[in-house]
Chains A and B, each alone.
Chain A
Amino acid sequence: MRILFINNDGAGFADHIEIESNMPVAKFFAQKLPHGRPEDYLIRVNRQPVSRDQILREGDRVTITPRKIEGAIVS
């Protein structure tokens, strides 16, 4: 099935891709960002936050974006 996937790791990606049917969000994350820690990313489907066991559907828009972007003079 076909979904739209957006993320910034590697070369960056914002395009339609084919994935297997009935794939949970956690499995999709592990496939696409095998070295990523889930707590470092906000995962949304169709602009809504999702649980890790939510099943992706045809036409979904999956966005994986970085969390905790911060700067400070004093650490």
Chain B
Amino acid sequence: MRFNPFAWAKLKFLCHAGDSEIGGFGITSRDDLLLVEDFVTVKQSTTAISVKFDDVAVAEFFEDQVDADRMPEQFARIWLHTHPGDCPNPSSTDEVTFARVFGNCDWAIMFILARGGQTYCRLRFNSGPGGSMNIPVAVDFYTSFAASDHTAWQKEHKRNVTIEPLVPRNRLLAQSDDWDLVEDPFANEVEALLEDDMFEFEVESWEDDQCRI
């Protein structure tokens, strides 16, 4: 899969525009469905370690893209999101979403950009026996592309990305009189995350077969 420089610059900019994950869809030309010409966000609720699209915003995105004379294969097959730290490997939540949302499409791509610059890109397809494979990613400087527009990108981030604070689970439990407070092993992990610089933690080990653009 290739990005044109405009789309890549916008994704990188939005990845670092706030202290949270972000996500969106890749927009491609009709002639080359693996050349991402734009990265478009929708309204989403995010934390440092999660991103969730607004369902109505996704529907509006589909309607607007069709009004712009694009087909779904041009705007709804490449799901992109970012990760904190240096690890772009998909989480179990990512995998569940990819299977549930995109599993019935003829093909789809899950792309993840870690804030450290590492990338993960997997193509899943249903033709023939079906299957999936990691595919290489590159920025294609030979394509024509628009100039960067930080002002517009910042406005898009402000308009679409809501950043929620991280709340440890046992704190939530403690707020409920009806629930017994149980020791949650995950709580210590989140507490540590909150106390440290949130983007310096290492989530998983890095594997050498992944690429950094």
Contact = CB atoms under 8 A, between A and B. Distances in A.
What are the 10 tightest A-B residue pairs by CB atom distance, in nearest-first order? A12-B72, A72-B50, A70-B52, A73-B49, A72-B93, A75-B92, A69-B53, A66-B101, A9-B104, A75-B93
Contacts of A11: 73, 106
Given A12-B76, A14-B71, A73-B91, 19 more contacts: A8-B76, A8-B77, A9-B105, A10-B104, A10-B105, A12-B73, A12-B77, A12-B106, A40-B100, A63-B59, A66-B58, A71-B21, A71-B51, A71-B52, A72-B51, A73-B83, A74-B91, A74-B186, A75-B92
A71 B63 contact: no
Contacts of B203: 73
Interface of B: 21, 23, 49-53, 55-56, 58-60, 62-63, 66, 71-73, 76-77, 79, 81, 83-84, 90-94, 96-97, 100-102, 104-106, 112, 186, 189, 203
Interface of A: 6-14, 33, 35-36, 40, 42, 44, 47, 61, 63, 65-75
